[in-house]
């Protein structure tokens, strides 16, 4: 809810979860001030790219300020529907365990 000053801002792990979600959902080369940021979704949603996608996703999580390490990580990808679900448990600067699941992309492809 806006209009409550600093009380309207996410803090600690809630803010970290939003940072991770934003960074994962960002497309590679789409950030005007950091062309190296984001996931190469255009190429990683193709068949045979799951290992590269998993590596990129984990790298983005680890490079997010506030993340100490990844405790567990899992991602599923359906290339036909372009649906990706990422689940992670991370150690943060706030606690030893924080879990989250992200539903990244869900789009039926024409003539798929």
Q: What is the pLDDT of residues 16-25, one digit of tens each?
A: 999 999 999 8
DSSP state of 109: P
Q: Does 73 fall in a domain?
A: yes
Q: What integer pLDDT is reported at residue 26 of this predicted model? A: 86
Show the domain range for 28: 10-103
Q: What integer pLDDT is reported at residue 102 of this predicted model? A: 92
- Take residue 18 and report the two structure tokens written for it: 């939003």
What is the tally of structural domains in the chain?
1
Helix crossing, 12-25 with 50-62: angle to 10°?
140
pTM comes to: 0.82
Q: What integer pLDDT is reported at residue 65 of this predicted model? A: 94
Q: Does 49 fall in a domain?
A: yes
CATH number at 73 reads 3.10.450.40
Q: What integer pLDDT is reported at residue 6 of this predicted model? A: 64
What tens digit of pLDDT does each residue of 44-71 get?
Answer: 877 788 899 999 999 999 999 999 999 9
């Amino acid at each position: 809810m806006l209009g409550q000053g600093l009380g309207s801002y996410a803090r600690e792990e809630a803010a970290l979860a939003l940072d991770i979600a934003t960074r994962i959902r960002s497309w590679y080369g789409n950030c005007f001030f950091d062309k190296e940021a984001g996931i190469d979704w255009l190429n990683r949603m193709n068949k045979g790219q799951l290992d590269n996608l998993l590596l990129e996703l984990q790298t983005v999580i680890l490079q997010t300020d506030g993340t100490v390490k990844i405790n567990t990580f899992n991602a599923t990808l359906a290339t036909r529907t372009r649906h990706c679900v990422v689940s992670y448990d991370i150690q943060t600067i706030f606690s030893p365990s924080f879990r989250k699941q992200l539903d990244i992309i869900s789009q039926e492809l024409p003539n798929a």
